[in-house]
């Protein structure tokens, strides 16, 4: 009899399973599937999916239960509550970026700025739909297609929907090859998509490459102090790349650091994916508003290119404006492929890459501006 009672006690926890937990297991499984089978941001979606299963097991020891501190909850406090993990990830991202195409044609910075339109448009929309200002601002940043900035802003503003925002941000980053061509073809003609652009880059000195991250950090700090942590860590990573004397550290930041922090981010974000806070109607609204933000960022960049062509003697291909989002280098490759599909001899990869790295800087500054505007009000 004692043996039977002991055996039954082993399975007593089964009675604590709820249908909401089962749904979250399915969502976790879907994220793992997308990471492995579809190769959609696997370094983040795979640990996030597994973490979603971990935290939604009944009485899970992975998260804090009463006085017992769970390891994932502790990791969240150590690296997410203070925004440390997203900032460290920015060092790795900065080390990956070659700002050469942007330095060769600095006016491409304007396309990076124009492609942030969707952020501010969606901020207004989310507020109209009844979201608190802190949540509306965090949702709007999804449009930049910049996962680390989305994490940083949502955590800084203490959004109630951090997990849903992060899932949306990284999902739409992975869906760039599907969403952007649809948006671009919606507002451009075949003739516009066939416009050829000359690429005659001047020589970019090593001094210029070294000074660029320093100057950008100083300017960003003076114009938008709230963005200086984001911009500073991104530019520090780029300085590691360009200085020429820390090659090993640069390679470590690009590979080991970026991958390790992505793994920890995925696991710790799962703390916010507990069924009771994730399975709410607002999650679907966030996914929809995130898509709106992403689409309107694309529209903003392309329409800016069309506006420039009203006055420019030498026409530009308006599609490069769509590359002004932060999804680097995916967006620039998508734009270059679309140009070649329309005209096999049309090569605009370098111009698109310049707009794309401009979008990296612009999205981070936009995040800082959002924080400067909203943080004092919440």
- CATH code where residue 212 lies: 1.20.1530
Structural domains in the chain (count): 2
Same domain, 50 and 95: no
Q: How far apart (Å, rounded) are the C-alpha atoms in residues 229 and 373?
A: 16
Closest CA to 273 of 48, 34, 94: 48
Q: Are 11 and 150 contained in the same domain?
A: no
Q: 303 lies in a domain? A: yes
Single pTM value for the model: 0.85
Q: Along the 378 residues of the chain, how does pLDDT read in single tens digits?
A: 565 555 555 566 777 889 999 999 999 999 899 889 988 778 888 998 999 999 999 988 888 887 788 888 898 888 887 788 888 999 999 999 889 888 988 888 899 899 999 899 999 999 999 999 999 999 998 887 777 888 888 888 888 888 888 888 877 777 788 889 999 999 999 999 999 988 877 788 999 999 999 999 999 888 878 778 888 999 999 999 999 898 999 999 999 999 999 889 888 888 888 888 888 888 889 989 999 999 999 999 999 999 999 998 889 999 999 998 887 778 888 999 999 999 999 999 889 998 999 988 888 888 888 888 888 887
Please give the Cα distance from 30 to 97 (Å, whole number): 31
Q: Does a structural domain hold residue 71?
A: no
Alpha-carbon separation of residue 55 from 160, 177, 261, 267, 319 (angstroms):
17, 32, 19, 10, 43
Q: Are residues 250 and 344 in the same domain?
A: yes
Same domain, 188 and 47: no
Domain, as residue range, for 29: 1-60
Classify residue 72: in a domain, yes or no. Answer: no
Q: Identify which of 283, 2, 271 has the alpha carbon closest to the alpha carbon of residue 139.
A: 283
In a shared domain, residues 285 and 316: yes
3-class SS at 378?
Answer: coil
Long-range CB pairs of 215-221 (<8 Å, 24+ gap) are 216/361, 220/364, 220/365, 220/368
């Amino acid at each position: 009899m004692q043996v039977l009672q002991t055996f039954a006690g082993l399975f007593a926890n089964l009675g604590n399973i709820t249908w909401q937990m089962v749904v979250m297991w399915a969502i976790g499984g879907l994220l793992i599937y997308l990471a492995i089978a579809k190769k959609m941001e696997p370094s983040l979606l795979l640990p996030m999916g597994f973490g979603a299963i971990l935290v939604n097991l009944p009485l899970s020891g992975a998260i804090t239960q009463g006085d017992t501190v769970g390891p994932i909850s502790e990791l969240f406090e150590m690296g997410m509550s203070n925004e440390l993990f997203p900032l460290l990830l920015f060092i790795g991202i900065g080390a990956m970026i070659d700002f050469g195409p942007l330095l060769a044609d600095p006016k491409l910075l304007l396309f990076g700025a124009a492609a942030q339109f969707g952020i501010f448009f969606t901020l207004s929309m989310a507020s109209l739909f009844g979201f608190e200002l802190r949540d509306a601002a965090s949702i709007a940043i999804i449009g930049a297609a910049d996962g680390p900035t989305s994490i940083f802003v949502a955590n800084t503003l203490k959004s109630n929907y951090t997990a849903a925002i992060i899932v949306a941000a990284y999902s739409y980053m992975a869906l760039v090859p599907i969403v952007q061509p649809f948006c671009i073809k919606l507002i451009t003609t075949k003739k516009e998509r066939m416009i050829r652009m000359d690429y005659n880059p001047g020589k970019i000195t090593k001094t210029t490459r070294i000074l660029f991250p320093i100057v950008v950090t100083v300017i960003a700090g003076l114009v938008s102090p709230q963005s200086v942590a984001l911009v500073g860590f991104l530019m520090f990573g780029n300085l590691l790349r360009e200085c020429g004397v820390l090659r090993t550290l640069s390679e470590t930041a690009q590979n080991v650091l970026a991958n390790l922090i992505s793994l920890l981010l995925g696991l710790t974000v799962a703390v916010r994916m507990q069924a009771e806070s994730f399975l709410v109607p607002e999650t679907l609204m966030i996914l929809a508003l995130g898509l709106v933000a992403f689409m309107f960022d694309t529209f903003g960049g392309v329409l800016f290119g069309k506006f420039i062509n009203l006055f420019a003697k030498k026409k530009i291909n308006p599609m490069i404006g769509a590359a002004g989002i932060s999804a680097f280098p995916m967006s620039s490759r998508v734009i270059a492929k679309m140009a070649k599909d329309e005209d096999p001899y049309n090569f605009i990869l370098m111009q698109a890459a310049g707009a794309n790295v401009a979008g990296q800087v612009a999205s981070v500054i936009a995040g800082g501006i959002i924080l400067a505007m909203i943080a004092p009000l919440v």
